[in-house]
Structure 1
Amino acid sequence: MTTPEPDRRMGGWEGTGYDAIAVGQIFPPYRLAVDATAIADFHRCLGEKVDGIGPGTRIPSFLLNELRAFKSNVYFPPGVLHAQEELEMRGTALLGEELITIVRVADKYIRNGKRFIVVEQAVQAGTERRDVLLVRHILYWPC
C-alpha cells in the first residue's frame, strides 16, 4: 500500500511525518505534574464546591489524560486531530504521588486514504509505579 500525499490544507507543513513514527516505539518515561490548583480548577469547572484539596486527594482521571508526554518526543504537524479516544481506569492516583506517563505507538494504518496513528499512554503512580490509567488515542496524522 502506498502512503497518500501529505494533507497540506492546514497551511505550511512542519512536523514529524507519518513514516518517521514506528509501531512499537516506546518513549522515555515522562514525569506528569498535577497540583492542588489543577484539581480545584477541574472541580470548579464542574460547578462543584472546592474543599480539602491536599495530599492524598484523588486526582481526576481527566487530568491524567493529556498529550504532553507524546508531544515532548514528536513534533505534531498542523492538522492532527483526535479521531477516537478510550480510557481504561486501572487504579487511583493521589495528590502528592509521583506520576509517570509511558507512551507507546501501538499501531498505525491508512484508511480511506487517511493516515492514523494509535498511541497508548500508561499512567503510573507512586514509587511502586502502580498502573492508574491507560489511554488509547487514535490520531489523524495529515502528513
Structure 2
Amino acid sequence: MEISKSLVDVFLLLRGDAIDPDLVTEMLGVAATKSRVKGELWQTSTKHEVAAKIGFWSLDSDAHSSSLSDHISCLRSKLEAARYLPLQIPGVDYAEISIFVAISDRNGGGSYESELTSVDLEWLGRLGVKITVSFNCDSD
C-alpha cells in the first residue's frame, strides 16, 4: 500500500477597503508574507496589469510539516508580539485563518489525519477570527 502525500498550507488573511499593511505589521509585530492596498497595481501570472479591488495582508505559517498543530504553532509564534487582535486593527473588515490540505495519491484516494491541541484551540478562540478549511484530493 502506498502512503498518500499531503500538502498543508495555513495562513492568516486580513482584508479591508482601507487596510494599511504597514499599520497591520506594526500592530501585529510581524511583517506580512504578502500584502496590497486597494487600487495597487500588480501583474498576474499572465502578465496582465490589474488593480487590487480590496486591500489585504496575509501571513503564512511557513511550517514544513503536514501537521495542522505545527502550522498553528508556527503562526502563534510569529504573532507573539501582537498588541492587538486582527479585528481591532483600523481598516480590517475581515479576518480568517485559512487551512488548505491537498492530498495526492496514485490510486485516486487518500486520507489525511492531523490534530489540534487544546493550546491551539484556545489560541484560535482568543484570536477571534473565522477559520476556513479546504481539502483537495487529486490522483497523481
Whichever structure has more helix as a proportion of its residues is: 2
TM-score bracket relative to the smaller structure? under 0.3
Q: What is the TM-score normalised by the length of structure 1?
A: 0.27
